[in-house]
Structure 1
């Protein structure tokens, strides 16, 4: 495996680009390939077995592009299939899961909110994580419809605002002081979320922590890119790529491809 090989990332759509941005910022010399499985979004509505099979398909695609590591930039995919992926493939994997620990440890009201997909909140991995914080009240809310609106490019729509008010206001009323975003799509909603929740409620997502873990694992396996060449990034999307281009802010190296 060459150090100059790309890092592969995949998500059920465009949301994992929030993770890609953090990794690219921390590791600007690393080549990356991002896979947006938008035609199968959202994963949160699918069965565990369906999620596992979609993950295998995505990993096979990225390995065919000679990726040296896979970042599962999707909470639902991680919490439902990371164990199976690590068992099947001989390559380092980085997963992403809701950042409960920092929220629970820092909460002054002992009440935190978690906005995530049904697939994440119902997963065995997530529920094992929750068991570690029995001293904290954890308010779980499924973000029904949020991923679909993001994938349709409707982040700042009236429909989005109405859903966010429906989901967030009860958690605010229950005295949460930390909101954990448990889906890689949701960081793109932070500007809208901040219009709804009080200023003292802190928002936590997993992007920065995932980027740091990616660097640590690359160092552990001696896989950091030592090339001085400008890093190359390619984005693949298996549905209309216009929303992906808009969220990235550029269109070069973004390709529609059926997979």
Structure 2
């Protein structure tokens, strides 16, 4: 099974930020990436719909004989991963906002989190936030409109700049010193975020941690690919392939899949 691919799915192209971290850490692993861009963003959908879409994505990747599935979507993880783990006999890696390191390291006792409505309103996020951030001020900001712009290929547009400025201002006013990115689309905004935020604000995303956890789980299950052949990395989307190809620097072919 070790040569079978790692499956990765997201509500859209954002999870490619997670794929990049996994590929950098595990360069010999074969991967299949599935972007459900036709249904993005998941963050505006109800829990039942998010679970339904996550099951659909999971079953597609299982049919492709994936050995492990990375749920590269905060909203899908926080709303559906417990259902997936209960119903499928395959290891799952989830992703949720890295509120813990921000809460432990803040000096101003004020941190910001930019995420989707579906993530911020989830039971899992509430539990994690209550466990680690009960004694600090957490400025929660729904990133309304951000995913839609990224899915439309407008990462660095003036519209995006204005939207981010609006979303970040309440956090700046609250003197945050950490900003947690709670959506896998958001790391692509790093250049804009660094420009718009005060210099003392540190930005945290979960990509590197997810890659490390993926490696650890593969090792524990004896599933690491020890071959050094050139890996096969396959990308599927039911949205516009050019948007994802651009985020991958046009180094990989992106295939349209009607699913």
Shorter-chain TM range is over 0.9
Tell me what 1:100 maps to: 99
RMSD (Å) for aligned C-alpha atoms: 0.7
Q: Tell me the secondary structure at the aligned position of residue 230 of structure 2.
A: coil
Tell me what 1:77 maps to: 76
Of the structure 1 ranges 153-162 and 17-26, higher mean CA displacement relative to structure 2 is found in: 153-162
Tell me what 2:201 maps to: 201
Q: Tell me the secondary structure at the aligned position of residue 195 of structure 1.
A: helix
Tell me what 1:28 maps to: 27
Tell me what 2:147 maps to: 147
Cα distance in 1 for residues equivalent to 2:120 and 2:67: 30
Unaligned stretches of 5+ residues in structure 2 = none
Tell me how far 1:251 sits from its aligned partner: 5.4
Cα distance in 2 for residues equivalent to 1:210 and 1:204: 13
Tell me what 2:189 maps to: 189
Q: Tell me the secondary structure at the aligned position of residue 69 of structure 2.
A: strand
Tell me how far 1:250 sits from its aligned partner: 1.8
What does the per-residue CA deviation read over 1:75-106, in whole Å, with 9 as the maximum and x for residues that have no partner? Answer: 00000000000001000000000000111100
Tell me what 1:224 maps to: 224
What does the per-residue CA deviation read over 1:221-248, in whole Å, with 9 as the maximum and x for residues that have no partner? Answer: 0100011211110000012211011010
Q: Tell me the secondary structure at the aligned position of residue 196 of structure 2.
A: coil
Cα distance in 1 for residues equivalent to 2:3 and 2:108: 47
Unaligned stretches of 5+ residues in structure 1 = none
Asked if 2 retains the 8 angstrom alpha-carbon contact of 1:99 and 1:205, the reply is yes
Q: Check if 1:211 corresponds to 2:211.
A: yes
Tell me what 1:247 maps to: 247
Structure 1 runs (4+) greater than 6 angstroms displaced: none
**Number of aligned pairs?**
258
What does the per-residue CA deviation read over 1:120-150, in whole Å, with 9 as the maximum and x for residues that have no partner? Answer: 0000000001111211111100000000000
TM-score using structure 2 length: 0.98
Tell me how far 1:252 sits from its aligned partner: 3.6
TM-score using structure 1 length: 0.98
Of the structure 1 ranges 76-85 and 192-201, higher mean CA displacement relative to structure 2 is found in: 192-201
Q: Residues 122 and 106 of structure 1: is their aligned pair in 2 closer, same or farther, counting only changes over 3 Å?
A: same
Asked if 1 retains the 8 angstrom alpha-carbon contact of 2:242 and 2:254, the reply is no
Q: Tell me the secondary structure at the aligned position of residue 27 of structure 2.
A: coil
